[in-house]
Structure 1
Amino acid sequence: MVTGDTRPAAKPHYKIGEIAELLGVAPSAIRHWEKEFGINTFKQGLSKQRLYDAADLAILQRVRYLLQVERYTIEGAQRKLDHPETRRQVRRETLMDIRRNLDDLIQVIP
């Protein structure tokens, strides 16, 4: 991945604290990015906590990279993420994550 982040263990969903730890940011930053970048946060489990899937994680990794590494403004990052090539890249990274997760699951099946 372009962001240089390490890959998390294969999981179907992540809690906000897990996402924040993976990205090295505060949970409040994740909540702010949800609002600014239109990330669907209403995937809640029985405990009423925010749950994120691989697609959400890929977008948040890209947001973090653009804001903290490339030093984009919120508006600049929004424009960059709205670019068709960026959307394709995020989808491609998400599919690669899903593929890795499936490969991991296949390895544990007897």
Structure 2
Amino acid sequence: MPVLTESRRAGDFVLSEANGNLSRDRIVIDTGVHLPGTVLGQVTATKKFVALDPAASTGAENAAAVLRDHADATDGDVNAVGYVRLAEVRADMLVWPAGISDNDKAEALAALATAHLVAR
């Protein structure tokens, strides 16, 4: 019998969120292919979201949201939904940039916590 592997699903990393859509906003993803749970930064000049990049100096170095569903922006901007406030997420299911340090993760989690996006 073959082994089937299920990929991540939209919001499967969410423990709780506010009623209705209060925790979520429509966002624009600028570039890249991203999984649900990807920690995002927001580029100050464009207000678009990209994967968190602690080495950037564009705004992308500051954690601002967590992506709800898959997003593929390889061919240009794509609309998506991000958790931007008032939610609890599973820390072990967040998607981080390769090679991110524990210190940068801690800073990103602290930044998300200021918007009441709490990793448990």
Q: Which has the higher strand share?
A: 2
Bucket of the pairwise TM-score, normalised by the shorter protein? under 0.3
Q: Which has the higher helix share?
A: 1
Normalising to structure 2: TM-score of the pair?
0.24
Normalising to structure 1: TM-score of the pair?
0.25
